[in-house]
Structure 1
Amino acid sequence: MNRFCDYKSCQYFNKQPSIEQRSKLNKVMCPLCMNANYCSNRCRDLDWPIYHKEICKKSQPDRARSCNDTIDSCSTTSVRRKAEEFEIISIGSKLELGRGSYGSVKLVKDKQNGLLYAMKIMNKRQVFEYCSVENLKREIKIQRRLVHPHICKLHHYFEDKENVYLILEYAQNGSLFNYIKKRSKLPENEAFVYFFQTCLGIDYLHKNKIIHRDLKPENLLLDHEGNIKICDFGWSAESLTEKRMTFCGTYEYMAPEMLNKQPHDFSLDVWSLGILLYELLHGNAPYRGKNNEELGNKIKSGQPINFALTLSNDVVSLIKSILKYIPGERLTMNQIFEHPWMVKHASNYNIEIQTYVYKTQNPTRQIPTANFQSKQKSIDIQKKEPLSRPISQDQNKLKEQSNNYKPYQNDYKQEEFNKPRISRISNRNEIMMHQHQLQQQQQEEKLSFMDRVFLAFGCLNREKK
C-alpha cells in the first residue's frame, strides 16, 4: 500500500486518510529528489533533517537537477541575473553589511548601471535544514509586489547551485536599532518622525492584506536621507481571510496572544508599533527578562509598564492605548493617525497626515515621502550619519532637549540593550523536539521486553541507558 505521508511521526504514516480528511490535505513532494510524499509542508519540513536528508544526499543527479527550483515556483518573475554581474564593495575593512541565520548581506555594485544594492546571500543547505523554504518563497512573493517609500524594495532575485540571492534597495544609514543605541534615546519630536513613517508602511501592508509579524528596530532601515525602510518579510503572511497560528517573531516585540499561542491578526503589528514607540523614547523595550521565559511571562501577565517622567501625557496615552492586552481593544491604524500626539507633531512639521496615508489598494500609485529633514544639511556619505534634525526645530534647542532627557532607570546593564535581538525560528525548536522524541523511541524499540520493564522502574544498568 502506498503511504499517504512518509513522515514516520505523522498520523497518516502507513494509513490512508478518509475522503473528508484527504480534501483538507495537500499532497507535497520533496523538492530535491521529488520522490518522498507528504500530507503537508509541515511534515515534509520536519522529516527532512530527521530521515529524508540522508536519502536526498544519495541522489546527487536528482538533487542537482531540482536545486535550481527552490524559488522558481514563486508566482512572481524576475529578470534573470547572475551573481557575477554584481561587484562586491567593501566598506573600510568590512566585507558585509550584516549577517543573519542563513547567510550574509553584502554591498554590491551592478556592473550594468553602476548602482549600489544590498545583496542578501542565503545558503540553500542552511535554508532547507532550518525548514524555511516556504518562508523564503513567501518573502520573495510579498516583497516583489510592494511599492512604497517606506518599504525596502526587492529589485531582483536569482539562484545558483549553492545560494539564493536577493538584490535589495541599499539603505545607506544602517538599521534604526543601531541608530537608537548610538543616541541612547530620542526626544519626542524625532521619535515621531520614525514612528510615523513606520506606521505609514505598516498601514500600507495591512491595506494590501499583509501582516509583517516581526516588526522591530532591527528590521527598520534608514536610507541616505534618514527615512524608514521596512525590511525582512520572512515571517509575513498575506491574504488573511482567517486568523493565523504560527508562533514567530522576536520575544521583546511579541504580543500576548502570540505568547499564549492564540490566533492572531493585524492587531499583532499594532502591538509591535507600541513597543517600537516606547523603545524610541526610552532606548529599550518596556518588558525585559533574564531569559525568554521570564520575558514572556511578564508580557502575558499584563502588568503595567513604567514611563520616563520627562514624557508628555499625550505620548504616554498613545502607547497605553496601543499596548492593550486584548487585541480588539487596541487602537486601529486610523485611530493612531488621529491621536492628539500624532496630530500635534505633524502640525509642528507642517504636514497633513492624511496626505501621506495610503488610502487605496492600488500598489502602483506613487506615494509622497514627507520631508522631515533639513534641506540645508547634507549627509556625509563616508560617515553614514542619518539626518536627525527636523526642519522646524532649532538645532540648539533640540540639543538642549536631548541633554535634559533623563536616563530611564532599569535593572539591566546597558550592554544587554545593545545586542541585536534574534527572531524566533519556530520550526527549528520543533524539529529538535521531534528529533529527541524519535531518538528516545528508537532506543526503546531496541530494548527487550524485560529491559523496558526495568527501565520503567529505573533499574536499567548505565550501559544500556
Structure 2
Amino acid sequence: MKDLRHFIHTIESRPELDTPFTSCGVDNMQRVSHGEWSDDVLEVTAGLGEGIGGMVQAVRDRRTGIAMARKTIVTREGPLKQLVRELSMITTLAHVNIIHFYGAYMSPSSSEVKVVMELCEGKSLEAVGERIRRRKGRVGEKVARVLADGILQGLAYLHSKRLIHRDIKPSNILFTRQGVVKLCDFGVSGELVQSVAGTFTGTVGYMAPERVLGRDYSIRADVWSAGLSILELVQNRFPYPADISAFDLVLYISENPPPQLEDEPNLHARWSDAMKDFLRLALTVDPAQRPIPRDMLLHSWITKVSKHKVDMTRWIAEVWSWDHDSSSSSPMST
C-alpha cells in the first residue's frame, strides 16, 4: 500500500503531457494538470455504472467546470499489481482515440484509489449496440468504417508504444459527444516482450484463437477482437452461439471457422465486398497471416474514411435522441 501511495504521489507531481487533447464535451483544446485532485474539488453529477473494475461516476471539477469520469477502485479487493500497471500505462498515453487520463488520488482512509478520466457521454459501443437493437435500427457501412478506423488508430498507437490492449470488446470502446472513438480500460494491458505475450487475460468471447489456445500472441490478437466487435455491431448479434458456457465457447472458437460478414436480404442488409474482405482479414485464424493495425488501416475499405465524410456528432445524437424527439426513426446511419 505504501508503494501504491508513493506511485500516485509521483503521478500527481508529473508535469502535464506535451500533447494536447480534445476533452469530451469541450470544444476547444484543454490542458489540465495531473495534480491536486481530491473529493473536495470534484462534484458528483451522475452514476455511470459499476463493474469488476470499480464504480464509475460523472463528476465536475468545481475549479474549472470541466466534466469528467471518476473510477473508484477499492484497493483491498482489487489486485494492486494490475492497478499500478494501469495507472503507470495511461499516464504515458496521449492520442485522440485513447481515453485521456487526468490524474489519480487516494481516499483519506487509503482504502480507495480514484482515477479521473475523460467523460465520454456517447457511452460504450456495447450500450450503443443495445440501444440500436431495441429501436430495431441498423448501423450503416459508412459509420462502421469510421468506428473501425478509430479503433485501429488507437491500436496502432498502442503498438507504436509496444503495448497490447488485450481486452478489446464493445464495453471498452467509448464515444465522445462528438462521436469520436476512445479505447479505455487498460487494466489487463501489458508490454510486448519481443512482440509476443503469454498471459491469459481478457474476455474469452472476444479473444483470438491463439489466445484461447494459450499460445503466444501479439497486437494481431487485438485486431481479431476489433473485427469481432465491429461484426457484432453491424449484424446486431453476437457472432457466436448464445447461451453456451465459457468452456464450450473456447472449444467453439478453437474448432470452428471464424464468423464472417454475410448479407441478410430479408433485412435489406447488404455489405460491400471491401467490407467483407476487411473483416475476413481481421478474423484470420492464423495470426501470422492476420495484419497488424497499421496494415489494416491501409485496407481499401478503411482508406475511404477520408473520402466519405460522416457526421458522427449527428449520428451519436440520433442514437441517444439528443435534441431529437424520442419517437424519431431508428438510427440507421449512413
TM-score by length of 2: 0.80
With over 3 angstroms needed to count, the CA separation of the structure-2 counterparts of 1:379 and 1:211, relative to structure 1, is: closer
With over 3 angstroms needed to count, the CA separation of the structure-2 counterparts of 1:291 and 1:115, relative to structure 1, is: same
Q: Which amino acid counterpart does residue 178 of structure 2 have in structure 1?
A: E
Shift of 1:75: 9.6
Matched, 1:119 2:70: yes
Q: What does 1:59-208 align with in structure 2 at a 5 Å threshold?
A: 67-73=1-7, 77-78=11-12, 79-90=35-46, 96-127=47-78, 132-160=79-107, 161-184=110-133, 185-208=138-161
Q: What does 1:446-465 align with in structure 2 at a 5 Å threshold?
A: none
- Contact kept in structure 2, 1:222 and 1:386, CA below 8 Å: no
Match in the other structure for 2:253: 299
With over 3 angstroms needed to count, the CA separation of the structure-2 counterparts of 1:100 and 1:374, relative to structure 1, is: closer
Q: Percent identity?
A: 26
Match in the other structure for 1:373: 311
Match in the other structure for 1:236: 189
SS at match of 1:191: helix
SS at match of 1:125: coil
Query: 4+ residue stretches of structure 1 with deviation over 6 A?
Result: 378-381
Instruction: Provide the rounded CA distance (Å) in 1 between the counterparts of 2:323 and 2:176.
Output: 8
**Which structure shows the bigger proportion of residues in strand conformation?**
2
Q: What does 1:223-302 align with in structure 2 at a 5 Å threshold?
A: 223-241=176-194, 243-289=196-242, 290-302=244-256
- Contact kept in structure 1, 2:258 and 2:285, CA below 8 Å: no
Instruction: Provide the rounded CA distance (Å) in 1 between the counterparts of 2:129 and 2:167.
Output: 18
Runs of 5+ unmatched residues, structure 1: 1-66, 91-95, 350-371, 388-395, 403-465
- Contact kept in structure 2, 1:118 and 1:169, CA below 8 Å: yes
Instruction: Provide the rounded CA distance (Å) in 2 between the counterparts of 1:83 and 1:68.
Output: 21
Which one has a bigger Cα radius of gyration?
1
Shift of 1:74: 6.5
Instruction: Provide the rounded CA distance (Å) in 2 between the counterparts of 1:386 and 1:223.
Output: 16
With over 3 angstroms needed to count, the CA separation of the structure-2 counterparts of 1:142 and 1:76, relative to structure 1, is: farther
Shift of 1:348: 2.1
**Which structure shows the bigger proportion of residues in helix conformation?**
1
Aligned-pair Cα RMSD in Å:
2.7
Q: Which amino acid counterpart does residue 249 of structure 2 have in structure 1?
A: L
Q: What does 1:286-365 align with in structure 2 at a 5 Å threshold?
A: 286-289=239-242, 290-309=244-263, 310-349=270-309
SS at match of 2:77: helix
SS at match of 2:59: strand
- Contact kept in structure 2, 1:180 and 1:280, CA below 8 Å: yes
- Contact kept in structure 2, 1:154 and 1:169, CA below 8 Å: yes
Instruction: Provide the rounded CA distance (Å) in 1 between the counterparts of 2:185 and 2:84.
Output: 13
With over 3 angstroms needed to count, the CA separation of the structure-2 counterparts of 1:250 and 1:106, relative to structure 1, is: same
Matched, 1:219 2:166: no
Instruction: Provide the rounded CA distance (Å) in 2 between the counterparts of 1:274 and 1:380.
Output: 25
Instruction: Provide the rounded CA distance (Å) in 2 between the counterparts of 1:332 and 1:126.
Output: 36
Q: Which has the bigger relative contact order, CA under 8 A and spacing at least 6?
A: 2
Instruction: Provide the rounded CA distance (Å) in 1 between the counterparts of 2:200 and 2:306.
Output: 36
With over 3 angstroms needed to count, the CA separation of the structure-2 counterparts of 1:187 and 1:374, relative to structure 1, is: closer
Shift of 1:173: 1.5
- Contact kept in structure 2, 1:226 and 1:386, CA below 8 Å: no
